[in-house]
A and B are shown apart, each in its own frame.
Chain A
Amino acid sequence: MSDRVKIGITINGAPHEGEAPARMLLVDYIRDVVGLKGTRYGCDTSNCGSCTIVMDGKSAKSCTFLAVQAHGRELTTIEGLAEGSELHPLQAAFQEAHALQCGFCTSGMVMSAHALLSQNSDPSPDEIREGIIGNLCRCTGYVPVIEAVQLAARRLDPKGGNP
């Protein structure tokens, strides 16, 4: 029993060992202990989804986990998508469809879409909407985001994809 805990995670493919107060939220751990600032939050009620990451293959709001709950798990954050200087096809589709403006919600939006596409390579527009209701965006009106996810789906899985 302790108010400090040891945490070992794999983040974007690399192991990371650290220690934190038990009460520390995963998002703060990612930002302030691991040092990856691309994951952010914009609310305190688990609504905005800006903090979304992929954990053990599923999307997760990193503000709605204690850091210690991630112990032993595999995490992917926005920094883990692109390889080298090449954007991931999903990121490229976001740029092409103008699916971001101020960009504050974008990390979480992209990670939600990433998790969605890993489970459903050919989502319909309604399935995309349903997949991103946990991500609030004030700039885009979501329409370009839906278009970007469709575009990425076509590129990632040329056989499927909605026209």
Chain B
Amino acid sequence: MAALPGMESLVPNVQAILLLDGDGRRIVAKYYRGARQWDSAAFEAKLFKKTKNAAVARGESDVILIDKSVAVFRCGPDARAYVVGSSDENELILNMVLDGLVDALTALLGGTFDARTCFENLETAMLCVDEVVDGGAILETDANAVANRVQMRGVEGGQPITDMTASQAISTITDQIFKTMNT
């Protein structure tokens, strides 16, 4: 962060999110615009080669410096999730993004994070990535929120009104009234 010119680069930024299977093949790969120009296939191959032997416990993450970027990653049985940022980025912030992504995905996949399940539920995997980062900007890091949004939970009637507390119910009703008045 020390010598960054320009103002916008001050905001924590994600360069890429990658989900790779046990052989380094892409499950989901998302590179964000303007982050930098790179040969994504070569980068993934190098990243995978350098990290495939890392012994990372379940739920733990590891980190590697690679090609002027820093990548944090977590491993499932045969799947890996990487969050890549510029080498000046705060790796702990990248780690928050990674945790949000992997925890949400694991919960949605029924408690496991492996390549086969990911492929079978590919849209879930894609949407998880989409809910965590928007165009390089961090959108949400809370795994529960991400999981709910991926499932579109709350749509179509949302929470039944009987389950709400009195104040929630009132605020929902006022919301509705304002909305009708505004339109």
Do chains A and B interact in one complex?
Answer: no
The chain B residues found within 8 Å of chain A, CB to CB, are: none
Instruction: Tell me the A residues contacting B by CB distance below 8 Å.
Output: none
